[in-house]
A and B are shown apart, each in its own frame.
Chain A
Amino acid sequence: MNLSFEGHHGTSSTSAKEILLSNYKLSIGHQEWLGNGVYFFVPGISTKTLELAEKWAVAQAWDNLNKVFLYRDYCVLQSRIEVDDSAFLDLTVEDGVEILSYLVDRYTEKINTIGRKMMFLDGLLLNLAREEGILPLEVVKGNFYIKFARERVERINLRINNCTICAVFNPTRNITSTSIVKTGRIK
């Protein structure tokens, strides 16, 4: 593993304890930015990754449908992520974007031959690339605009990215240590 960096993950205290006992579980679903995986704020556009993870934990606590907090006690976990360069797709740099663009080109070229037009989501394409063995993806990094509590309450929808996140697809392999670095309570 020739790349190593730290990431921060915000979640409820209950989930944090479970993670420490039995490791992370993948977030799965079509709305995941970089596909199925465990998500971390990592240094990039912002270096304040602990603060971002804390804001995320607070934002995720609110159940907007039922207007209740799902949890009030939260934690920020700090994990060491290690990966070989050959299994790391960095979408914050030209080399990475070039790969994604080529993947899209080949995909559309093929699917258009039968007159189909698909709606693209980065995460779905990355899931396909990884699970079909097209790319040896273990960790993917990208810049995104993420809405935290303030952005959600005040309807702030910018297009400019505000953080860098990474998704780890196999936490057992690529996360070498995890510890709680901050706890808090939503009042």
Chain B
Amino acid sequence: MKLKDVKEQIDAFFDTITAEELYAISVLKYGFSEITVDLENVHFETTAVSHYSSDTPSAFDEQHGHSSFGLALAA
């Protein structure tokens, strides 16, 4: 099986199903779990974890784009 043989089928499925329907069957029919922990707001006081302050651009925050990725790496 190669991608070129099945790409059309994969696209047809995801182009047709709504996000809400996909979420519903994922959880109810197939047993997917949702990631519910919000890493941006986790309290780290009880652990020995150092972290960026909330106003530091995060390397993993997609909203900051590639430029902040470079900044975070350089910091």
Tell me the A residues contacting B by CB distance below 8 Å.
Answer: 30, 85-90, 95-96, 98-99, 102-103, 106-107, 109-111, 113-114, 116-121, 124, 127-128, 131-136
Complex CA–CA separation, A111 to B30 (angstroms): 15
Tell me the B residues contacting A by CB distance below 8 Å.
Answer: 1-3, 5-7, 9-11, 13-14, 17, 19-20, 22-23, 25-26, 29-35
B8 to chain A, nearest CB (A): 11
Please, which residues of chain A bring their CB within 8 A of the CB of B14? 106-107, 109-110
Please, which residues of chain B bring their CB within 8 A of the CB of A106? 10-11, 13-14
Given A106-B10, A111-B22, A116-B23, are A124 and B30 neighbors across the interface (CB < 8 Å)? Answer: yes
Complex CA–CA separation, A90 to B19 (angstroms): 28
> Are A135 and B3 in touch, CB under 8 angstroms?
no
> Are A117 and B1 in touch, CB under 8 angstroms?
no
A23 to chain B, nearest CB (A): 25
B30 to chain A, nearest CB (A): 5
Please, which residues of chain B bring their CB within 8 A of the CB of A103? 10
Please, which residues of chain A bring their CB within 8 A of the CB of B31? 30, 124
> Are A102 and B1 in touch, CB under 8 angstroms?
no
Complex CA–CA separation, A136 to B3 (angstroms): 12
Contact of A134 among B1, B9, B20, B35 (CB under 8 A): B9
B33 to chain A, nearest CB (A): 4
> Which of B5, B14, B29, B32 gathers the greatest number of chain A CB atoms within 10 Å?
B32
> Are A86 and B13 in touch, CB under 8 angstroms?
no
> Are B13 and A99 in touch, CB under 8 angstroms?
no
- Name the residue on B nearest A135 (C-beta): B6
Please, which residues of chain A bring their CB within 8 A of the CB of B22? 107, 110-111
Please, which residues of chain B bring their CB within 8 A of the CB of A86? 1, 5
- Name the residue on B nearest A99 (C-beta): B3
Complex CA–CA separation, A50 to B9 (angstroms): 37
> Are B1 and A99 in touch, CB under 8 angstroms?
yes
> Are A114 and B20 in touch, CB under 8 angstroms?
yes
> Are B19 and A134 in touch, CB under 8 angstroms?
no
Please, which residues of chain A bring their CB within 8 A of the CB of B6? 99, 134-136
Please, which residues of chain B bring their CB within 8 A of the CB of A98? 2-3
Given A102-B7, A111-B23, A134-B10, are A118 and B32 neighbors across the interface (CB < 8 Å)? Answer: yes
Please, which residues of chain B bring their CB within 8 A of the CB of A113? 19
New A-B pairs, 15, CB < 8 Å, besides A88-B1, A99-B6, A118-B33: A96-B1, A99-B2, A102-B3, A102-B10, A103-B10, A110-B17, A111-B19, A118-B32, A118-B35, A119-B32, A124-B26, A131-B30, A133-B9, A134-B10, A135-B6
